[in-house]
Amino acid sequence: MQPFKSKATIHSFIITAIFNTLIAIVLTYMVLDDHHFFDVFIISQLMGLSICLCVNIAIHFTDGNKWNVATNVIGLITGVFMGSLLSWGFLSLFRGNDFTYFFKHVFSYVFVFGIVFGVPISYFFSSREKIIESEKLIQKEKIKRLTMEKEAAMTTLRLLQAQIEPHFLFNTLANVISLFDIDIEKARQMLIDINEYLRISLQRTRQEMITLAQELDLTRQYLEIFKIRMGDRLIYKINDQTNKSDLAFPPLIIQPLVENSIKYGIEPDVSGGAITIDCRIKENILEIVITDTGKGLDEDANKAGIGINNVSQRLENIYGSDASLILKQNHPRGIKTIIQVPL
């Protein structure tokens, strides 16, 4: 049931009363040429307000379906009868008209004028409501669209920040600067790696899909940078057994997981560790397994893996329930992440 919207309901009564007054003036002086303005005015108000009340009640009982024609018609007809009855009450009480007189001479006028004015005025109200509602809808759509646009922009920014994390960038640049004094050839190689990494990062952030080979290239670039930084503490291996260079794959799935492995698994571990990435096709499913031999996740680190929920959500957005992401403890130590997506 639709609750009475008091403000809107009161509004409709006031507007109806104004209409009634205008109708009374028109009827008295232009149509009937009757000089009992007061009586016409009262009857007009009784009729108009009855219709208004009945239509409002009808709308109230039909779950607020404002522009349902039947609702309006039922309200209108009930209102006209109620108005006629009240008019008769008024005339019999104050003007001494008996029922037969009223029925013969007044009722038809009252009834006909009730219908004649009631229909366009009800129509006016319902179309006014319609306009207000559709404006609200447009406003809502606008807000929704703007929010979505903002969210898309924020996502792009977040993705970009996730890849070019300041800590990573500054530490890497610090390495290059140091390497200029130590090993100029290594410094050059590292700059080339950073350059490639940034280029691919910036490009792919705007793309929905890249290829698996591209994602692996970027990951290799990333790992190469860490290899120079961490030396013997990091060993990595990428095994792509798909034998396909054009497998479509979303960006930012493998690299963030590798980043997690380094950040929470290998970098904080005194002895370092190894990262292995295996890609293979098993019966129309592409499986990617990322294994690290780092510290693993302890209770506190459960709060750390920011990237994992992002990756999980991205996979779901793209593949629905056809994709899966499973994180397991690796034996004897570290984490194993298994991604499966349909081909």
Would residue 209 be called left, alpha or beta, if left means φ above 0 and alpha means ψ between -120 and 50 degrees?
A: beta
Look at the block and give the residue holding tokens 């009757």.
34
Q: Is 332 in the site for another protein (CB under 8 A)?
A: no
Q: Which of 297, 306, 308, 285 is nearest to 330 (CA)?
A: 297
Ranges within 136-195 binding another protein (CB under 8 A):
166-167, 169-171, 173-179, 181-182
Quick one: tokens of 8? 């809107």
Q: Is 313 in the site for another protein (CB under 8 A)?
A: yes
Amino acid making up residue 17: A
DSSP summary character for residue 305: -
Among positions 196, 267, 278, 287, the unique one binding another protein when judged by CB under 8 A: 267
Q: Is 17 in the site for another protein (CB under 8 A)?
A: no
Check: CB of residue 47 under 8 Å from CB of residue 27. Answer: no
Q: Please, what is the minimum distance in Å from the beta carbon of residue 218 to another protein?
A: 22
Q: Please, what is the minimum distance in Å from the beta carbon of residue 327 to another protein?
A: 4
How many residues bind to another protein according to rule CB under 8 A?
Answer: 45
DSSP summary character for residue 3: P
Q: Is 270 in the site for another protein (CB under 8 A)?
A: yes
The interface region with another protein, picked from 81-89, 97-105, 134-142, 321-329 by CB under 8 A, is 321-329
Q: Is 99 in the site for another protein (CB under 8 A)?
A: no
Quick one: tokens of 198? 């940034």
Among positions 11, 328, 342, 343, the unique one binding another protein when judged by CB under 8 A: 328
Nearer to another protein, 9 or 312 (CB): 312
SS3 state of residue 291: strand
Q: Please, what is the minimum distance in Å from the beta carbon of residue 169 to another protein?
A: 8
The interface region with another protein, picked from 77-85, 86-94, 262-270, 285-293 by CB under 8 A, is 262-270
Look at the block and give the residue holding tokens 């006209």.
80
Q: Is the peptide bond before 332 cis (omega within 30 degrees of 0)?
A: yes
Q: Is 304 in the site for another protein (CB under 8 A)?
A: yes
The interface region with another protein, picked from 1-9, 33-41, 51-59, 227-235 by CB under 8 A, is 227-235
The DSSP H or E segment spanning 145 is helix 107-163
DSSP summary character for residue 262: I
Q: Is 324 in the site for another protein (CB under 8 A)?
A: yes
Q: Please, what is the minimum distance in Å from the beta carbon of residue 183 to another protein?
A: 8
Q: Which of 249, 267, 269 is nearest to 315 (CA)?
A: 249
DSSP summary character for residue 62: T
Look at the block and give the residue holding tokens 């629905």.
320
Residues that bind another protein (CB under 8 A): 166-167, 169-171, 173-179, 181-182, 228-231, 233, 267-270, 297, 299, 302-306, 308-309, 311-313, 316, 320-321, 324-329, 335
